Homo-oligomer: A and B are copies of this chain.
Amino acid sequence: MPLPAAPPFPDMPPLADLHLAAGRQGAPYQNRDDLLFVSFRHSVSAAALFTRSSLAAWPVRLSRRHLKESGGRARALLVNAGNANALSGAKGRESAERIARACADKADCPLNEIFLASTGRIGKALDAEPVLKALEAFPKDAPSLSWERAARAIMTTDRFPKGAFRQTFIKDAPARLCGIAKGAGMIAPDMATTLAFLFTDAALSASIAGRLLLEAAEESFNALSVDGDSSTNDTLMLFATGEGRSAAMSDLTDFRQSLREILDSLARQIARDGEGATKMMIVRVSGAKSAVSARRVARAVAESLLVKAALYGGDPNWGRVAAAMGKTGEPLREESLRIRIGGAALFDGEPLAISDAAAAALRRHMEGDEIRIEAHLGTGEAEAVFRGCDLTPDYLRINSGGD
């Protein structure tokens, strides 16, 4: 039983000075774009968070270098779907470099203002030729595509395109924030990677953009796990196209909130589209000794195979939740521990009896597609939230299919 129908793509207005083009470079998808080219009319501020994998893909290694060399300036971003260009040896590096040079020619800018992102199969060098051809074929004066079309061009086995928009303010000046993402965790047969790209027409320095991105990601993308496997290609970028003096941190309260909301929305869409997932789970841990400890405990629950399997079976199995928390070795005491699922109190220093009415409500909650697990550790004041999804026969079907 898959999740209800895909959510509708949100209304998202165009952004000034930003151009979206899409094309096909030959990934084995039927009749759809697999290449996105985002270009800016002028050099803009850029910030990025890349995968922490020690085997990062060539586009990540190249983009990381460019970000450093350019001091956070960007003129174009190219994303291809279908091939991650990861673990692809010298040939993969060569492809990435050739493609980046072609993008710099197209955008007429320094090489280090080009950023690349790839998603798809690991272990095969990306063939540069079809990418270069598609890039060349983009008509110079075509109108910018819609955000939905852009979001579709970066999908691999995603069931739906993912986007989010917020109208916000910096002091009294309006600012727009647009985001697109692809996700679905690790995807069949090797389609790895979470990619997300955020764009604003605000004026932000690269260093402020970097601080905002890190802060917002901690509470959303870095608190999300479909299957615990982070990829060789994960990339999250923020581009700020506004010219003139950067807004100061002190003026960015609303903006930061909107950025958090956008990332939160994208993270939820990704969790909802987790491979074969039928249910999301939101794990809230409070009363912990520290935020790090709360996060470790919440993450252990969200990633526990046994909790994921229980969720799939609609079983409010608090014993597995507790076992997953315990295995972290974090400071916990049975005597002060409280666990609720779907609002129903199930453990409070000891197993609780549950009324018929509460049991019926809990059953209904477990039949839903968003399961809330709350634990209060009673050892401190810190808290954290982590999101996950259930583990289903479909996940296995998708991921055991071989090549």
Contacts and interface: CB of A to CB of B under 8 A. Distances in A.
Interface string A390-403: 01110110011111
Interface stretch (A6-14, A40-48, A137-145, A223-231): A223-231
Contact of A391 (B88, B323, B396): B396
Contacts of A189: 315, 317
A322 interface: yes
Interface in A9-44: none
A332 interface: yes
A391 B317 CA distance: 21
A129 interface: no
Interface string A286-299: 00000000000000
Given A89-B350, A332-B54, A229 B309 contact: no
Per assembly, the copies of the chain total 2
A225 to B, nearest CB: 10
A88 B327 contact: no
A399 B306 contact: yes
Contact of A334 (B87, B186, B230): B87
Contacts of A322: 55, 86-87, 122-123, 232
Contacts of A124: 351
B319 A123 contact: yes
B229 A305 contact: yes
A214 to B, nearest CB: 17
* Dominant secondary structure of chain A at its interface with chain B: loop
A391 to B, nearest CB: 7
Interface string A118-161: 00011111000000000000000000000000000000000000
Nearest to A187: B306
Contact of A400 (B55, B86, B312, B402): B312
Interface of A: 51-56, 86-92, 121-125, 186, 189-190, 192, 227-232, 303-306, 309-310, 312-315, 317-320, 322-334, 337, 347, 349-351, 391-393, 395-396, 399-403
Given A53-B329, A192-B323, 15 more contacts: A54-B328, A54-B333, A87-B337, A88-B351, A89-B349, A89-B351, A90-B350, A227-B305, A228-B305, A232-B323, A305-B395, A309-B396, A313-B400, A315-B400, A315-B403
